[in-house]
Amino acid sequence: MQEFRLPDPGEGLTEAEIVTWRVKPGDTVHVNDVLLEVETAKSLVELPSPFEGTVEALLAEEGQTVEVGTPIIRVSGGDPDAVETAADTADTVAVDDDGGAVLVGYGVRGGAETRRRKPQTVRSVPAPSAPARPASVPAASAAPVIAKPPTRKLAKDLSVDIATVTGTGLAGEVTRQDVVAAAEQVKVFRNLSAPEWSGGREERIPVKGVRKVIAQGMVDSAFTAPHVSVFTDVDATRTMEFVKRLKASPDFADVKVSPLLIMAKAILWAIRRSPQVNSTFTGDELVVHHYVNLGIAAATPRGLLVPNIKDAQEMSLLQLATALQQLTTTAREGRTQPADMQHGTFTITNIGVFGMDTGTPILNPGETGIIALGTIRQKPWVVDGEVRPRWVTTVGGSFDHRAIDGDVISRFVADVASILEEPALLLD
């Protein structure tokens, strides 16, 4: 009998929430099979099995928050001396004096729970690429749905029954695009009527995980850094024409192109002209970064995440488009890792996708500037003394007034606006 204790997924955290069990009592599990998903304060993590055998009991429930080192599943059978580990999680698995498995490099909480057997009891075996299933396992009565775990998670978050989705991938695999397309169809019908209130007069939602971290970060930022916000309306007609040309270009055939790409490139250009906005105010000094880790605020099923593109200033337009696509896809699928959200230097929030014209964003903690891109819509605009329909947007931003004066702020936002008005300036 072996117990698997909740490890720290390499983040130095003390607790995590059980999100989804992938197994149930009676199931046969193999080394590297995903046992469950847990949500920490930073990311959604899949935990693989270090054992093989039969699941005897699940020791924690979905939605329960447990401390690192707490036993969460009991497995019987198998060979306890053939313990292996998930290839993408750790190098070895140790068995402590109480018989519980602990991923080496993760550790367990508390002194008494960190005891280990002597080094010779620790074994490491290369993880098999595809563990064979015993022939005695009966085949399912219906064809199983072929889909990767992130795709299943996305379907769950979007309220899509994945069993009803027709897969277009290899061997009928349900892809992310299949799920999104099905969700769009569901949304059309769902929007025809408003749902009824459910579950009594009030609902109480515990503040934990990502929501707790967001709440604390926003309070710290709002009441530490004196925010100042500025806005300007922009004729973005040439940006829309430029985006259209890029979409028709063979070089951009495999990546998504949107006005956000031009905004990102405009910010990188404007930062070179006003580097103070890409800094960190420590109280004793202003640390001006000569690189840009460009954060993109992303609304995900887990809440607001701000992953960033490392060294974005070194990227071509095509490279930046590819990085934006990878970043947003990963965030929506709930696979953003903690390292992807660390060490950001400047942030974009695209509120235009929600139909908003402008807003007053709060700074990402540790940064001195954030730009908000509003929706781009046709409006009457005066051109050469005549009123014409043009594609118009509002560019706004918030800045830490301890670090940046009003002239620098105004010049920076004006530079961003000038690129949206004439993207050809990027070629200079």
Cα–Cα dist 367/279, whole Å: 6
Is-catalytic flag, 401?
yes
Closest by CA position to 415, among listed 310, 277, 289 = 277
Short-list 400, 343, 346, 334, CA closest to 371 = 346
Token code pair at residue 393: 């947007």
**Catalytic residue (one of 227, 289, 343, 401):** 401
**Which letter, b or e, does each residue of 382-399 get, where b requires 16 or more Cβ atoms within 10 Å of its Cβ?**
eeeeeeeebbbbbbbbbb
Looking at this protein, which amino acid is placed at residue 240?
M
* Strand pairing report for 346-349 and 44-48: unpaired
* CA 361 to each of CA 78, 92, 127, 309, 348: distance values in angstroms, whole numbers, following the listed order: 54, 45, 46, 20, 10
3-state SS of the chain is CEEEECCCCCCCCCEEEEEEECCCCCCEECCCCEEEEEECCCCEEEEECCCCEEEEEECCCCCCEEECCCEEEEEECCCHHHCCCCCCCCCCEEECCCCEEEECCCCCCCCHHHCCCCHHHCECCCCCCCCCCCCCCCCCCCCCCCCCHHHHHHHHHCCCCHHHCCCCCHHHCCCHHHHHHHHHHHHHHHCCCCCCCCCCCCCCCCCCHHHHHHHHHHHHHHCCCCEEEEEEEEECHHHHHHHHHHHHCHHHCCCCCCHHHHHHHHHHHHHHHCHHHCEEECCCCEEECCCCCEEEEEEECCEEECCEECCHHHCCHHHHHHHHHHHHHHHHCCCCCHHHHCCCCEEEECHHHHCCCCCCCCCCCCCCEEEEECCCEEEEEEECCEEEEEEEEEEEEEEECCCCCHHHHHHHHHHHHHHHHCHHHHHC
Catalytically annotated residues: 401
